Structure 1
Amino acid sequence: MNMSDPLDPLSPSLNGSSSQRPGFMSRVRMRLNRSSPVSTSGDGYVEFGEFRGAAPAAQKVGTFAGVFCPVVLSMFSALVFIRMGYLVGNAGLLVTLAQFALAYLIVLFTVASICAISTNGAVEGGGVYFMISRTLGPEFGGAIGTLFFFANVVSSALCISACTEALVENFGPSGYLVAAGHGIPDSWWYRFLYRTILNATGLCVSLSGAALFARTSLAIWVTMLVCLCTVLLSFFITPPMEIEIPASNPLSANQSRFANYTGLSMATLRDNLYPQYGVDYSDGGQPVDFAAVFGVLFTGVTGVMAGANMSGELKNPSRSIPLGTLAALAFTLAWYLALSALAAAACSRELLQQDYVFLLPINIWPPAVATGN
């Protein structure tokens, strides 16, 4: 070798004989040379993932099934069918709308950051963890990713608990959809069993792969949309009536067991405009205040990361993540505002505060609400 030649840090040692076994760095170079060629830009910048060989063809999902549907389902959670009365009945329509505006403003800042990162460079598998690691470094990405993991665990627990509550409310011993005393058993251990079954089912769907997850999300989204449409129509079709307070509300034992559904009425709307905080019968009669209502409401606007976490399974993540997430925000906000306004205009405050599943008896087809729950 000519001493004027540039030194190659991956070449064998210059002091070694050519007949000797190749050194460690030489073997590393040979291994790298067997992979796909590295693609670099004119300024020498190497994008994430370009060191890896071409992956085998995999089935990818699009914007609607991969981002929009998961985000919508994550944001709706337990708020739509079993907590709308809690919000409007205690905080009133005006404060509820103001809280939705505040919550969506907070979430919008997060979504703007996701959109900026996902459209500025390559997006690979790993979701939010990958995006943060690429922008702030792996230390920040790992720390925030760990917190986000535990946040998802808590969010899953919330959704499973809400689903179990709806299951017992509709099909329990005193459920709306079964004869008295003929429903599924209800106790602490039975609820633990129901939650375990639901959790195991969700785990199986998640482990089965992105394709089944996307199809499942799409099917659930279509089902929920049909249920929401029946709720919307019910406010215009169902005539005024008296609704019996459910047996799951022990605080109404010494009060009237019936509350009024007035239908769309300006008088009812005026009565429900302003706050009138009461107690939460599902929480042992704990007093309700502004912070408690906002805490429940804010759980209905979380879940915007569900689409970003599908980054490795999307056909075009740089386009699908911002488009699908922003569309899901607009979709859920429109439904929340519509349901809040209709509930305030058609239901007495007593009904909203004493019966959190009031949407079921006023629905034109009650099983639709149970299915949506």
Structure 2
Amino acid sequence: MKKVKETKNKGLNTLEGVYVPTLLTILGVIMYLRLGWVVGNVGLWGALLIIVLAHVITVTTTLAMSSMLTNIKIGAGGAYAIISRSLGMEMGGAIGIPLYFSQAISVAFYIAGFSELWVTFFPSHSIILVGVIVWAVLTALSIISTRLAFRVQYFILAAVILSIISFLIGPSLNDGPMVLSGTMSEASFWATFAIFFPAVTGILTGATMSGDLANPGKSIIKGTFAAVVTGFVIYIFLAVWFARQAPQNLLLSDTMIIFKLARFDFLIIAGVMGAVLSSALSTLVSAPRTLAALAEDRVIPFGPFFSKKTKKGEPLHAILLSSLISLIVIVLGNLNSLAVLLTMFFLTTYLMINLVVLIEQGTGISSFRPTMAMSIFVPLVGTVGCFSVMLLINPLFTGVTIITIIVIYSLLKQKNLVSPFGDVRSSIFVTFTEWAAQRIMQTPYHPRLWKPAVAIPVESPEDFRRISRFVRNIIFPSGRLYYMTIFPETTMDETQKEAINDVLQPMIAERLFVQKVFVQSDHYGKMLIQALQCFENSFLPPNMVLLTISDDAEKRDRLKTLINDLRHTKISVMCLWLHPKFGLGSERKINIWLREKSRNNDLAVLSALKLVNNLHSEITLYRAVGHEHAKNKVEKELLGFIEEARLPGNTQIKVVTGNFYQLIQEESADLTILGMPGKYEDIIKLLDTSPGSLLFVASGGFENILA
């Protein structure tokens, strides 16, 4: 207990670690130099509406973040940690990496803003030199001690408070009524909203320091809420004061009107410079924490290097890199074109925090039990609000942001990151699948929905390997494979499991639907029938069984029994016989023998089409007739069938007369597809006469080539 207490005492408390830096980020340049213009452009009522709408988004995001913090132990990394522990390290990295660069570059923007203000009052000073000096001082503070850096902000907070007091006791320049309504002559309502919104985007400042707080769960919630509420009250009060103290024309024409409205303008100067400096310092301290958290999870290269910390717990290498990035941006000069993109990445982070809570709460997983529960309406409003604001600010940059995140996610996905934390990605798919299953099982089946879903009973992985190419070409790209096998022992041997995984890996690599069905049984045929009966009323059941015909006499006897048993089930059956010498040959020619009005014709043609599309082979439709004078009529029927069934343009037809078993030998092909004979002995007879591989099909009534 004593050790825990000592550790906690080393961390930052709520006031210095969360409340003060978050509040100072909120009370920034926009409060001093843009709030008056907002009131002048849209009037007091419009300004109040903008402030309320902006805070709806920040409050919902804060509530969502608070809900997550009462459900998980956040650790270091702030927003990155929240997202990665819920949506996986890939999505956490896809958000965290742009967030880190946004933080690092934002330091330069804050310092540049400070430098521009400084040069306004001291024109002889070099703006680059001022920026570099400020950068050096802030970097030194962040390296020496986080606690020292945050305690400096007490003095800045005092300067901000004094500047607000100076504004409130200053002279009035308005002889007329309050500016209650605006003409929106300089910008539309939503454009004005977009200009104001960055003022309230500092709510993650405290959260990013999660790894340095004594009690992050409680401190982030209390400190962030207190800062947001304080900022909201101040903005409302100052908006009313601007509308009261200055006429509309001055509010619109002079963005620095606050200096004229203050009793002591030097206090405003100190306040605005302090606010900008505080934002730079907070961001310079928090950005390396995000980088260090990414490094600890090996999301970025050189993880051990950037995650290394000093004895005081400072991520020195991460601080140096973040400082270097900000210095480069300062030296390059004005990069205002990036400002909107940076805001987008911050907004995307807020959106993802809301989305995480929306998913966890919406999927109903039992692990989501926050002590701070709330209505699902809260994260929903936050998610929609953040995305709407992004579109309002800049649709183009919204698209760039989304594409950037997708690219980073794809690259991280290739790294096969192993997360020690369970995430909820699978619950999203489970929930969607459950919803879809309910809808599908209530919807009558129609042949238009058919796609190959093949159950294959397999005695050994090597048996499957022989037909794996054929199976792949039957189901690719969107069919389903059910690999079914039995094992007589109590548990399956691990070596056998590995062999099965190995033989299925090529199909899994192609993202095909592959489901393994293992059944403990001593009876092969009985197992198959029972398993198929279990599947019958399930979601996404197989619609056909693929059996293979062996040269072994004992296996042929078992196959005969199995085929007879399957005739009583509601499933289609396919029996494949691969020629022992030629296999599927060159895979170029497929013959389909069609019988007049046979229910097997649809399955035969649909199976051939799958093979044709994947093997680029050609189909020839065959029909055997009893008399020569029937040929013309049947040929016309087959040509009409080709057109109606939308078969490939190179499909051939051939109507022949004579002995069927003799014709099969003469009209050879790489694969011949035909309806399954009623007698098993007829199947064996055809094997003995065919010069190529055969596929027998027996439809269960699921298929319709004309659908």
User: 2:235 is matched with which residue?
Assistant: 336
User: 1:268 is matched with which residue?
Assistant: 177
Residues 42, 184 of structure 2: 8 Å contact kept: yes
Q: Does 1:210 align with 2:117?
A: no
Residues 46, 181 of structure 2: 8 Å contact kept: yes
Question: What amino acid maps onto 1:70 in structure 2?
Answer: P
Residues 115, 131 of structure 2: 8 Å contact kept: yes
User: 1:43 is matched with which residue?
Assistant: none
User: 2:16 is matched with which residue?
Assistant: 65
Mapping of 1:7-86 within 5 angstroms?
Answer: 57=7, 59-86=10-37
Residues 163, 271 of structure 2: 8 Å contact kept: yes
Residues 123, 131 of structure 1: 8 Å contact kept: yes
1:323-358 CA distances to partner (integer Å, 9 max, x unpaired)? 100000000011111111111111011211222122
Question: What amino acid maps onto 1:150 in structure 2?
Answer: F
> Partners in 1 of 2:133 and 2:187 — Cα distance?
32
User: 2:79 is matched with which residue?
Assistant: 128
Decide which structure has the larger Cα Rg and report it.
2
> Partners in 1 of 2:162 and 2:142 — Cα distance?
24
The correspondence for 2:163, drawn from 227, 249, 261, is: 227
> Partners in 1 of 2:133 and 2:41 — Cα distance?
34
Residues 61, 214 of structure 1: 8 Å contact kept: no
Tell me the CA shift for residue 111 of structure 1: 1.0
Tell me the CA shift for residue 55 of structure 1: 12
> Partners in 2 of 1:98 and 1:156 — Cα distance?
30
Tell me the CA shift for residue 56 of structure 1: 8.6
Residues 77, 159 of structure 1: 8 Å contact kept: no
Tell me the CA shift for residue 309 of structure 1: 0.8
Higher relative contact order (CA 8 A, sep 6+): 1
User: 2:89 is matched with which residue?
Assistant: 138
Mapping of 1:245-264 within 5 angstroms?
Answer: 261-262=173-174
User: 1:352 is matched with which residue?
Assistant: 251
Q: Identify the range of structure 1 (59-68 vs 359-368) with the bigger mean alpha-carbon deviation.
A: 359-368
1:3-50 CA distances to partner (integer Å, 9 max, x unpaired)? xxxxxxxxxxxxxxxxxxxxxxxxxxxxxxxxxxxxxxxxxxxxxxxx
The correspondence for 1:197, drawn from 113, 133, 136, is: 133
Helix, strand or coil: the match of 1:315?
Answer: coil
Question: What amino acid maps onto 2:139 in structure 1?
Answer: L
> Partners in 2 of 1:65 and 1:55 — Cα distance?
19
Tell me the CA shift for residue 297 of structure 1: 0.5
How many positions carry a matched residue from both structures? 269
Q: Identify the range of structure 1 (148-157 vs 318-327) with the bigger mean alpha-carbon deviation.
A: 148-157
User: 1:282 is matched with which residue?
Assistant: none
Q: Identify the range of structure 1 (220-229 vs 98-107) with the bigger mean alpha-carbon deviation.
A: 220-229
Residues 13, 213 of structure 2: 8 Å contact kept: yes
**Structure 1 unpaired stretches of 5+:** 1-52, 174-183, 241-260, 279-286
> Partners in 2 of 1:154 and 1:233 — Cα distance?
37
Residues 133, 141 of structure 1: 8 Å contact kept: yes
Question: What amino acid maps onto 1:141 in structure 2?
Answer: G
1:50-107 CA distances to partner (integer Å, 9 max, x unpaired)? xxx9999472111011100010111122112122222112121111111111111111
Higher strand content, 1 or 2? 2
User: 2:184 is matched with which residue?
Assistant: 277
- CA pair 197-296 structure 1, distance change in 2 beyond 3 A: farther
Residues 60, 314 of structure 1: 8 Å contact kept: yes
Percent identity over paired residues: 29
Tell me the CA shift for residue 122 of structure 1: 1.9
Helix, strand or coil: the match of 2:184?
Answer: coil
Helix, strand or coil: the match of 1:310?
Answer: helix
Residues 124, 311 of structure 1: 8 Å contact kept: yes
Residues 167, 370 of structure 1: 8 Å contact kept: no
**Structure 2 unpaired stretches of 5+:** 273-707
User: 1:363 is matched with which residue?
Assistant: 262
> Partners in 1 of 2:29 and 2:233 — Cα distance?
17
The correspondence for 1:306, drawn from 205, 208, 216, is: 205
Could you tell me the TM-score, scaled by structure 2's length?
A: 0.36
User: 1:100 is matched with which residue?
Assistant: 51
- CA pair 210-147 structure 1, distance change in 2 beyond 3 A: same
Question: What amino acid maps onto 1:308 in structure 2?
Answer: A
Tell me the CA shift for residue 131 of structure 1: 2.0
RMSD of aligned residue pairs (Cα, Å): 2.3
> Partners in 2 of 1:299 and 1:158 — Cα distance?
13
- CA pair 193-168 structure 1, distance change in 2 beyond 3 A: same
> Partners in 2 of 1:274 and 1:306 — Cα distance?
34
Question: What amino acid maps onto 1:125 in structure 2?
Answer: A
Q: Identify the range of structure 1 (60-69 vs 223-232) with the bigger mean alpha-carbon deviation.
A: 223-232
> Partners in 1 of 2:104 and 2:187 — Cα distance?
26
